[in-house]
Structure 1
Amino acid sequence: MIITRTPFRISFFGGGTDFPPWFIENGGAVISTTIDKYCYITCRYLPPFFEHRHRIVYSKIENVQRIEEIQHPAVRGVLSDLGVVDGIEIHHDGDLPARSGLGSSSSFTVGLLHAINALEGRMSSKQGLAESAIRIEQDVLAENVGCQDQIAVAHGGFNRIDFLKGGGHEVRPVVCTQDRLAALEGRLMLFFTGVSRFGSQVAAKQVANIGKSGANLERMREQVDTAVGILSDPSADMDDFGRLLHEAWQLKKGLSDSISTAMIDEIYARAMTAGAIGGKILGAGGGGFILFFVPPERRRDVARALDGLTHVPFHFERDGSQVVYYKPSDGPLRPGHAG
């Protein structure tokens, strides 16, 4: 049996510049961090004593004979792509809801790839996991997704990810003191709007509008440099990070009319009135989690203003996708195989 643990992520700046139709021509960059909320994948070979050959357990339970019959698209795509032939059982558990803007779908894909590779005796590099997940989500599943989530959750940590003209990417940790990082963490508040959505569907409009969004995307990429400057300079006003988030949210809303809603705008206005300096909806938009930058002395006021929403405390994490339990068998049981 194998268990992998893959973190969710929070993206601060540059989202949208990680879509290939943009960065292959123009380059791109994002700043993101992984957090201590996780997707867990449990995987084992399924003994040949059942009527079904494969068992997939998530919000549904699927018992099927063939991989092509699996309804879960990522499971079907990963197992097909890796050429899995033996019966397999997969369980998914998550700390937070799916389809909520924290990169949960990429966490699932990366965690599943990691688990299947480990089950079959293959080591996985962080770079290899990220690249395989990007290829599966974009090419095999044909989803409208960028490239930052897969890289962020595979590597873990607080990173700047640069997307290179012509293709490819570089991952570099944001260099700043632990005190600065702790000060930022202490000013972030995460709330669930209560609305789940399919990010690929929301992102489709954003991708379609890329040709009209050049000025916004260029400015969003520039904000990555500004944010790194704020974090790396101990004398810089940390509140400037929050003000930059507010500007980023205004730019992001301009990429598509599906990113915000009347409900999201109302939540944002309540938080700002209560003392937040900036914030943004996470992920593609349309719902999910919303992040606010709040001075420590105003956290209680913002929490009261958003009393109807679920507040999720969190900490930054550094590990990325990990195999947390590894007990391989000698291989799948087959007819005529003694053990």
Structure 2
Amino acid sequence: MNENNKITEKNVIETEVTMGPVHSAAIEPYRVRLFVEDEMVKDAEITVGVNHRGIERIMEGLPVEKANSLTEKICGICSNSHIWNSVLVAEKAIGIDVPERAQYIRVIMEELERLHSHLLYLAHGNEVLGHETFAMRIFYIRETVMELLRMIGGNRVQYGASIIGGVRPRCELDAMRIQKISEGMDIIEEKILDFADRFVSDPMIMSRITGVGVLTRKQAIELAASGPTLRSTGVETDVRTEMEAYEPFDFNVITQDDGDVKSNLLMRVLEIPEAINIIRQAIKHLPDGKITNRSWDMQDAPITKSYIEVPRGKLYHSYALEDGRVRNSIVRTPSITNIGAMQYAAVGHHITDAQLAIVQCDPCFTCTDRAIQIIKI
């Protein structure tokens, strides 16, 4: 103190708070280091790698159809997305025409998985918020989707629907299955609209998520954020608008403007009716014909790339073909950059909001854990 008894120095408590690799608010193992001053986050570091299984290395030299099946094991939430994109690589490399009916069934499976993923995200988000009732309601709605996936593919998690040239015979849609899908969409739409009304009408929840974990449009672009995480900042981009399989369908690209937790949650809520709309169009206009084209010959091909839009953003697969076997496989999931962006979204918030800011991008650490290092920009 000086002569006038005024405080001239400020004592700041600096500390590091570590969460993980196991934490009650995290579905998967990862490590978060929060550098805190007086309970405010000044910097954050997210480390992945706990779930590394070396799938890309295991794929090296495998017969292509076996390697495609292995990609389903990358992620239990996006299993259909991975095998579909992996199959697309071979189809592009060899020049295989896929029957139109098979394309429609692939889209139906992918949009069902989008529903499954978004509903899981909303349930987990409410769990992190401490709202167990909302979380359980969403899990209840999600069961309808899981049963539809089981009905079509035979499993609740890994369905093995896509194969080179089309879809498996067990995934054919007869009149009974089409009716069940239609009824399921009605149930989900009614219940998700009721949930959305309750959700946005709850002042405690809205005050808890508004303005938390803000990622600006500029930051999202510079950090290569993808999918709903990027669209939540107002960037209107969706790989489905560039995919041949989605050309017959009309749907809106949903965006929000604030880039915070509220925007990310609303992104998923509003994308669910769009997914339902695409599924309804697909079953209504499902073309007749074969679901598999097996009139092709395996041949060598250079490294071929494929991008698709999965629930979390842009998914990349590539590999070369040599004697019917996969070479130089690379898989890049959208979470790798979205997680890196969350290191910035967590900064400037109270420590109690840090985990909420991190999980707002719907991170999938297991499918991300093929990367060796995240380079800080």
TM tier relative to shorter chain: under 0.3
The TM-score normalised by the length of structure 2 is 0.22
The TM-score normalised by the length of structure 1 is 0.24
Higher share of residues assigned strand:
1
Asked which structure has the greater CA Rg, the reply is 2
